[in-house]
A and B are shown apart, each in its own frame.
Chain A
Amino acid sequence: MVKFTAEELRKIMDYKHNIRNMSVIAHVDHGKSTLTDSLVAAAGIIAQEVAGDVRMTDTRADEAERGITIKSTGISLYYEITDEALKNYKGERQGNEYLINLIDSPGHVDFSSEVTAALRITDGALVVVDCVEGVCVQTETVLRQALGERIRPVLTVNKMDRCFLELQVDGEEAYQTFSRVIENANVIMATYEDPLLGDVQVYPEKGTIAFSAGLHGWAFTLTNFAKMYASKFGVDESKMMERLWGENFFDPATKKWTTKNTGSATCKRGFVQFCYEPIRQIISTCMNDQKDKLWPMLQKLGVTMKSEEKDLMGKALMKRVMQTWLPASTALLEMMIFHLPSPATAQKYRVENLYEGPLDDIYATAIRNCDPEGPLMLYVSKMIPASDKGRFFAFGRVFSGKVSTGLKVRIMGPNYVPGEKKDLYVKSVQRTVIWMGKRQETVEDVPCGNTVAMVGLDQFITKNATLTNEKEVDAHPIRAMKFSVSPVVRVAVQCKVASDLPKLVEGLKRLAKSDPMVVCTMEESGEHIVAGAGELHLEICLKDLQDDFMGGAEIIKSDPVVSFRETVLEKSSRTVMSKSPNKHNRLYMEARPLEDGLAEAIDDGRIGPRDDPKVRSKILSEEFGWDKDLAKKIWCFGPETTGPNMVVDMCKGVQYLNEIKDSVVAGFQWASKEGALAEENMRGICFEVCDVVLHADAIHRGGGQVIPTARRVIYASQITAKPRLLEPVYLVEIQAPEQALGGIYSVLNQKRGHVFEEMQRPGTPLYNIKAYLPVVESFGFSSTLRAATSGQAFPQCVFDHWDMMSSDPLESGSQASQLVADIRKRKGLKEQMTPLSEFEDKL
């Protein structure tokens, strides 16, 4: 631990070349937090007064209890590097003092929005991979996200101790495992390569890969060993590093390097000979308490132990010895300093990704140069609840300029459009705060390249925002973050005591602010709905809601509510007609399903109301086989004018049709939001207006007559086109050893899931299983799976697609009709569906 005062810390913040902002990302349970803790223990900056308080990253009680990270935590590290170590460093630097702002992020997929927020404000990433489990699902996800944000990665192969203690693999086998892990990671990185960022693949011989044992607090890069041996062999350090990895073999008997295994018993791979074996020897001597052998070995390595440490035995001794010999902090921090970019370097190429405005204006230039004298550009990535109930710190990164206490800033929200006044506020920053361990320290100002928390802006920032100086009216905002998960699991909440309603409302607002992935909405029936990315996420959110945002007022939560979609299977069996209330107008319509993939294209925004009609008709005719002219006759999309349903005009030569278009559109928006089956949104339905008979007097074909009629005829055409329900389906990825597969399959079967991919991880006993699982069935899935596989299988669920339920909701007694009845009951509607005769009229 490094004891600092706020002033001292503030001083280092000015050296923009000596700052590293980095996040630690990995699959869940690969040891991010443990590794971070060992770094913090060595180099963490804490306020002078609270030295000794160790636990740093998992600050919440529930995090410690569950053993997972939920919220990303920022922590500053200080490292003073020796001149000796720096002699190969080519980049710019200002002295030997380095400030490393590290953000530990959660690994569970439910919290990947936290990872997204962390990546935005950092420039480098330490990717942690379990040396046995290798590259997992979430490793790939976060890597992809990181590269998308132009974050340069370095890798650490973690949990090395498992190789030595648990699995006891020999050197060559271990080498093969490691190189496979590294190869897998490199394959992913190569896929998302970006010319501006350059080669992002990692190589042990270049020092961009470390090998670590977070639990025991030791780590090394090949640099460490190369230094050690370079003088011994009398070769250059970099030459030595190359020999320590790859197809380089050394035979101590002949004292010769070869590029092939000569076959002799003493010939071993460089890595095995010089890195793996020495470590293995030390560890085994320690574990066997062969102290007489140990001390001379340590002396040879130049490791001196304190006398009281010499009395330790077994594991404790081993830990101590390894920590002294290969301290994790030195290896990892030097790797970060050498291979991760400083803000000044990173912002040169990140500016394109970050700034929405023209890349040659003063704001882009200031970001590019990381100019502390330039205009303020600050991105607020998350809101952190303050200890003062109901208030938030706005946490973000200064990209250019300085933010100071009392500064008046322009706050550009996510909906801000340059030149307009929407979502724009001017407010002063009450205080600028930096974190020192768990404590917040107020500082005068914070220059670019650093992270900062601000007080007094929480009322004006909803989730994220861009801040500039008050007078910078022509600045464009920094691009909004894109999240990889979406909130699909929903519960209805209500308060136990009715009079707590205002507390609940206030609490929900705060909850929505504190987590970018939570959506608080309201159902038509007046129920408050909280939606989250997964079951775990939701559980945590509701706990926060009750304890932190509502002051402990009790809430009742419903069972998870899954929203369905309504669609049709075929074209309407006949053209249906509805008459207006005054019987003077008639609308004829048919419904048909949209072509495969079209609904998804609308979801993705490839096809939408804002398209150029020519482009749209091109896509529709080429990819979906539409008639070119027909594509021009789309009246609207819906619901909310952008949804995956549409109305197409198929009429020929109908008089006054243009007059009722708006009314039909209004009726369609209404109907597509609340389908005829259970008032769920419609999806993938195309409504064709076949014919229209209108009264000759304009007054009798007004909105009042046509809007309700359009709604009725849409319902009628939906019901006659074999309506079906769509249910949301998760893509589940499970990783488990072979013996657990049986359990996994039986649980999946029981839950209506089906496996579509099963793959053994090369070189491991582990299998990767990919399956589809209906969201409805996913509640309690994790715990059932754990129980069925004695805790060996770990699932990750991400919403994937909508799946049609084959049973007919119109057939009484079918599964779908039961479902419809349940939904209608929950919504307080009549349990019986409105019959077709209510919607369709006869001539």
Chain B
Amino acid sequence: MEFESRYEISRTAEFIRGGNFTKAALQFPDELLKDSVRIVSSLRDELRRVGESDAERDGNAKDASLFVMADTAYGSCCVDEVGASHVGADCVVHYGHACLSPTSKLPAFYVFGKAPMSVSDCVKNLVDHAMTSGKPVLVLFGLEYAHLIQNIREEVVEACESRPQLEIQFAEVLCSEMNPPDKQNICNQGMVPAGILTDDKSFETLPGTRYGIGGLVWKLREGRKMEDSLLFWIGSDNSAFANVVLTFNGCEIVRYDATENCMVTDFSQQKRILKRRYYLVEKAKDANIIGILVGTLGVAGYLRMINQMKELTAAAGKKAYTLVVGRPNPAKLANFPECDVFIYVSCAQTALLDSKEYLSPVITPFEAMLAFNSRTLSVPHQLKLNISSTRDTQWTGAYVMEFRDLITSSLTESRSHSKEARFSFLQGGYVEDFDNQENDEEDEEGALALANATEKALQLRDTANSLVKRTVKSGAEFLATRSYQGLEIHNKNSLPEPYLKGRSGRAAGYLDEKSEKENF
């Protein structure tokens, strides 16, 4: 029975029956794939059982068919709606770690799994830390520990009875069931209503700012800032945690590792990530050709985001190409050497790619906005961008991972930046962007057009045998600077080529090479 409770078989069955779904896609991450068969069979049993009891009541029971989905095209934390649509599924049950990004078409049910943890040990650490820091504590946790939070909360209340000055607040899981925005959003499943520990009842009416990250939500009292609290993370050091560290980089953060039962307080590595991202933003400012990588086909609003990125790059005078390559890897992206930087539009938890091994850096849409924006942004609550008098946007350290938050930031002011040269920290000097030149080009179209054209033609020929790589601003120009531009058709020799015997064997080692190997 332990297995069934871990995978919440009965609740899943309830969801499927409750929604009257006929085809349910079960999405597994690679590490849970081994359990899929058992899950499917017990789920089927459970559905049949519930179905029979229902049929007894009203007699219109139909069987829901179940499909197992694995090897998702993008991050396994997102609901693979496209995959589910292939079988015409009308709902998705998502297993394992999830980013809880809103879906766009299908309703989804999340099974986070239930990881074990020593509750008393955790509470002891938590209370100790709250005592020493003296700050109000906000508890955030990995979703796999969501089932234990109620226990922790109770124990904390007990432990805190003697120390009323302690203020410990718990975040809540948004919901374990998600409906696309056009349908009614029902979110009443299982989870305890949110609340502040010290004052349970007044939560709904309490004025304050609502925060959320990676499926967790909480409210802070009016007049209190995130920077004032100590963040206490329960769970492992995964991408969800990295997001928390980056987003709330102004807060003091400690992590309780539930598998090791220990506290981790050193996050220099995470701080380093932040600095590295800052470097990438500066690098992106120097880019001329941008690749927009489609990293999701499910997260609500991704199309809008892609369009927004296109507008953004166009406004910054850069050329953008949209690429769909599935989950990016160095080899795939190196096929586009003309792109100076890639913007990865994906769910928040896969967006951060450490692009050290990549030819060109991969940045998030938020970073792209920092880099390319020369306009004022009207920004959501926690995001502060300091627009300096000069043309570049300065980063104050605030960080936004989820692009939903970015979409709401509308671009207000029309484009009117001065023509001052931009300072590039990569080149250590002032540089000029291309758009400045292009703006003026219309003025003297007539007189200089011919001269310009000839000049360009001349330059082109010049580069054919020179070793210099010019700065290029579009893919076509990049191709022109390459020494090899594709297959050439040899017109001279129209006779058919003589017949040649090719190699045989597998590419990893052809037959003729095998013999060579023996020689070594």
Contacts and interface: CB of A to CB of B under 8 A. Distances in A.
Nearest to A646: B467
A519 interface: yes
Contacts of A462: 421, 429-430
A505 interface: yes
B337 A703 contact: yes
Contacts of B394: 501-502, 505-506
A707 interface: yes
16 contacts: A413-B421, A421-B441, A462-B421, A501-B397, A502-B394, A505-B394, A506-B388, A522-B279, A522-B282, A581-B330, A659-B484, A662-B483, A666-B337, A666-B359, A669-B469, A828-B276
Contacts of B513: 843
Nearest to A426: B419
Contacts of B467: 609, 634-637, 641
B337 A662 contact: yes
A422 B359 contact: no
B416 interface: no
B185 interface: no
Given A501-B397, A526-B276, A666-B359, A702 B468 contact: no
B290 to A, nearest CB: 17
Interface of B: 249-250, 272, 274-279, 282, 330-337, 357, 359, 386, 388, 390, 394-397, 418-421, 423, 425-430, 432, 436-437, 440-441, 455, 465-469, 482-484, 487, 502, 507-509, 513, 516-517, 520
Given A498-B250, A584-B507, A609-B468, A708 B334 contact: yes
B469 A641 contact: yes
A661 B429 contact: no
Contacts of B250: 498
B505 to A, nearest CB: 12
A830 to B, nearest CB: 10
A527 B516 CA distance: 50
Contact of B359 (A463, A501, A508, A670): A670
A610 interface: yes
A583 interface: yes
A658 B484 contact: yes
A512 B484 contact: no
Contact of A662 (B279, B427, B484, B509): B484
Contact of B330 (A499, A519, A708): A708
A441 interface: no
Contact of A421 (B396, B440, B516): B440
A498 B399 CA distance: 13
A227 interface: no
A659 B484 CA distance: 5
A67 interface: no
A780 B441 CA distance: 54
Nearest to A520: B428
Contacts of B502: 696
A704 B334 contact: yes
Interface string A688-711: 000000011010101111011000
Contact of A521 (B357, B426, B509): B426
B337 A707 contact: yes
B269 to A, nearest CB: 8
Contact of B388 (A459, A502, A610, A704): A502
Contacts of A423: 421, 432
A462 B282 CA distance: 19
A315 to B, nearest CB: 51
B388 A524 contact: no
Main secondary structure, interface of B, reads loop
A753 B232 CA distance: 53
A708 B465 CA distance: 24
B365 to A, nearest CB: 19
Contacts of A502: 386, 388, 394-396
A775 B279 CA distance: 27
A521 B427 contact: yes
Given A662-B482, A843-B513, A512 B429 contact: yes
Contacts of A498: 249-250, 397
Interface string A395-437: 0000000000000000001010001111101000000000000
B420 A522 contact: no
A794 interface: no
A528 interface: yes
B118 to A, nearest CB: 32
Nearest to A579: B508
A525 interface: yes
A508 B418 CA distance: 20
Given A420-B437, A704-B335, 13 more contacts: A413-B432, A462-B421, A501-B395, A502-B388, A508-B425, A522-B425, A525-B272, A581-B330, A609-B468, A613-B465, A641-B468, A658-B484, A663-B334
Contact of A704 (B272, B333, B419, B508): B333
Nearest to B465: A613
A523 B425 CA distance: 9
B507 A583 contact: yes
A704 B331 contact: yes
Given A501-B395, A583-B508, A523 B279 contact: yes
Contacts of B390: 459, 506, 509
Given A525-B272, A526-B277, A828-B276, A460 B508 contact: no
A394 to B, nearest CB: 14
Contacts of A665: 469
Contacts of A696: 502
Interface in A653-693: 658-663, 665-666, 669-670
Contacts of B419: 425, 460
Nearest to B283: A522
Interface string A525-540: 1111001000000000
A527 B276 CA distance: 8
Given A459-B418, A661-B484, A525 B276 contact: yes
Contact of B275 (A521, A526, A660): A526
Contacts of A828: 272, 276
Nearest to A502: B394
B170 to A, nearest CB: 28
B444 to A, nearest CB: 9
B423 A512 contact: yes
Contacts of A525: 272, 275-276, 279
A660 B483 CA distance: 9
Contact of B335 (A420, A459, A702): A702
Contacts of B421: 413, 423, 460, 462
A111 to B, nearest CB: 19
A521 B425 CA distance: 4
B331 A581 contact: yes
Nearest to A422: B432
A834 to B, nearest CB: 11
Contacts of A419: 455
Given A459-B420, A641-B468, A526 B279 contact: yes
A774 B249 CA distance: 40
A521 to B, nearest CB: 4
Nearest to A711: B359
A696 to B, nearest CB: 8
B432 A501 contact: no
A428 to B, nearest CB: 14
Contacts of B282: 522
A645 to B, nearest CB: 13
Contacts of A524: 276, 279
A581 B359 CA distance: 14
Nearest to A510: B423
Given A505-B394, A584-B507, A663-B337, A708 B331 contact: yes
